[in-house]
């Protein structure tokens, strides 16, 4: 019988965090967290790209959690301009690691604002094996903290993004492309906007290809 996702609350720095969680019953399954877009622009853990990412991890053998940041949905607290949301993400990672102490790999991922929090988190958590950052906004947020980028991963971007300039993606690529022991893949989705409208299938293909490559030996 297929195990269902659970709607739960986990402890966070500002109180309870609303979450959805799936535990893979297989011993040694990898773990992943998925982070939502900007709370002040309608972002929640029910965003369709966040849900797509959650489903991809679930279907590819992961235990996975997604959360509503503080002040979103039923989560306690108020928006904290990124610092508090980073602490919320760290709390989610702590929680899923405790629930899956036998995990084989640790992944973090996020969409838009969530991609920023995802990449900030990898700077603090050396146990993370891979990240997936979807539609990061280096023209809006400062990514100079990636000096260097400590973890291999995938950056997925669109070539018709109305919110992100091509020049800023090129700058991000040049910042992190050549680092010893770290490989960051930049995957372009053609004819897509920031939200990948009508391009979810293409997005899934690129992400699953990367995940399958990195988990093939588990």
Residue that has been written with the tokens 């604002």 in this structure: 113
The number of folded domains in the chain is: 1
pLDDT tens, position by position, for the chain (218 residues)? 466 999 999 999 999 999 999 999 999 999 999 999 999 999 999 999 999 999 999 999 999 999 999 999 999 999 999 999 999 999 999 999 999 999 999 999 999 999 999 999 999 999 999 999 999 999 999 999 998 999 999 999 999 999 999 999 999 999 998 788 899 999 999 999 999 999 999 999 999 999 999 998 77
Any idea what the CATH number is for the domain that residue 152 is in?
3.40.50.1820
Residue of 95, 89, 100 whose CA lies nearest to 23: 100
Residue 1 lies in a domain: no
CB neighbours of 94 closer than 8 A, spacing ≥ 6?
Answer: none
3-state secondary structure of 36: coil
pLDDT attached to residue 194: 98
Query: How is the chain split among helix, strand and coil, in percent rounded to 5?
Result: 30, 25, 45
Cβ atoms within 10 Å, residue 144 = 8
Range of the domain at 154: 6-214
Residue 170 lies in a domain: yes
Residue 87 lies in a domain: yes
Residue 74 lies in a domain: yes
Residue 126 lies in a domain: yes
């Amino acid at each position: 019988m297929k195990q269902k996702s659970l709607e739960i609350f986990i402890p966070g720095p500002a109180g309870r965090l609303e979450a959805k969680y799936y535990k893979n019953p297989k011993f040694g399954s990898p773990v992943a967290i998925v982070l939502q877009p900007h709370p002040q622009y309608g972002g929640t853990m029910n965003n369709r790209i966040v849900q797509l990412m959650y489903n991809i991890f679930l279907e590819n053998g992961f235990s996975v959690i997604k959360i509503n940041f503080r002040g979103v949905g039923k989560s306690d607290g108020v928006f904290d301009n990124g610092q508090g949301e980073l602490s919320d993400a760290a709390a989610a990672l702590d929680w899923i690691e405790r629930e899956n102490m036998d995990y084989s790999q640790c992944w973090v991922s996020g969409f838009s604002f969530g991609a920023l929090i995802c990449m900030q988190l990898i700077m603090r958590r050396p146990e993370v094996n891979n990240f997936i950052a979807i539609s990061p906004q280096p023209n809006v947020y400062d990514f100079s903290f990636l000096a260097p980028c400590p973890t291999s991963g995938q950056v997925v971007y669109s070539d018709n993004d109305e919110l992100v300039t091509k020049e800023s993606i090129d700058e991000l690529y040049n910042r992190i492309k050549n680092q010893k022991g770290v490989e960051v893949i930049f995957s372009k989705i053609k004819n897509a906007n920031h939200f990948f409208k009508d391009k979810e299938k293409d997005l899934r293909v690129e992400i699953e290809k990367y995940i399958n490559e990195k988990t093939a030996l588990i």
